[in-house]
Amino acid sequence: MSKIDTQRIPNYKRVLCLSFALERLADERAGRKLEALLDLEYIGGYVSPSVSELHNYYSSYLELRFAAALARCGSRKAAGVLIAYLGDIHSILREYARNELSAISGGLDASTTREWENWLSHTMVLGAVPKYVGENLCRLKQ
């Protein structure tokens, strides 16, 4: 993969910038309005559960970052995408999805996809959970 892959995805950098802002603002209204973008051809559908179903890494990364941002805005659909990434072949994407799910669930540390699906089905409303600047640093120190 090279940087040319990001140029093949329309508005790649704009969607990443939007994700960055959304995860920090965590506006529930924005999450509801923008979750339809997950269905677009160039944003959604890039989970790679096996080598035979391997997708472009940049596309997977974009989908995961956008879903994480929308999940922080309270989107159940986006939380479902994060749960799907727990089965992705890329370990770094799996770990990112797990960390984001833990953050939006209030610290739940479920170990299986089934446990996360169960959590999502029993959670009536996902609240907005803004990402703060030092969040990742705090996890590294623990």
pLDDT of the residue at 38: 93
Q: Per the structure, how many domains does the chain have?
A: 1
If we measure between CA atoms, which residue out of 92, 141, 64, 81 comes closest to residue 117? 81
pLDDT of the residue at 1: 45
* Gyration radius of the chain's alpha carbons: 14
Locate the DSSP E strands across the chain: none
Helix (H, G, I), strand (E, B) or coil at 27: coil
Q: Which residue range(s) make up the domain with 64?
A: 4-141
Output 93-96 pairs: Cβ under 8 A, ≥24 positions apart. 93/60, 93/61, 93/64, 96/64, 96/68
Is 100 in contact with 136 (CB distance < 8 Å)?
no
Is 83 in contact with 138 (CB distance < 8 Å)?
no
Angle at 67 between CA 64 and CA 70, to 5 degrees: 150
Specify the residue for token string 């610290």.
107
pTM recorded for the entire structure: 0.86
CA dihedral over 52, 58, 62, 68, signed as positive or negative:
positive
- pLDDT tens, the chain, 142 aa long: 456 656 677 788 899 999 999 999 998 888 888 999 999 888 999 999 998 888 888 899 999 999 999 999 999 999 999 999 999 999 999 999 999 999 999 888 888 999 999 999 998 888 888 887 555 545 554 5
pLDDT of the residue at 9: 76
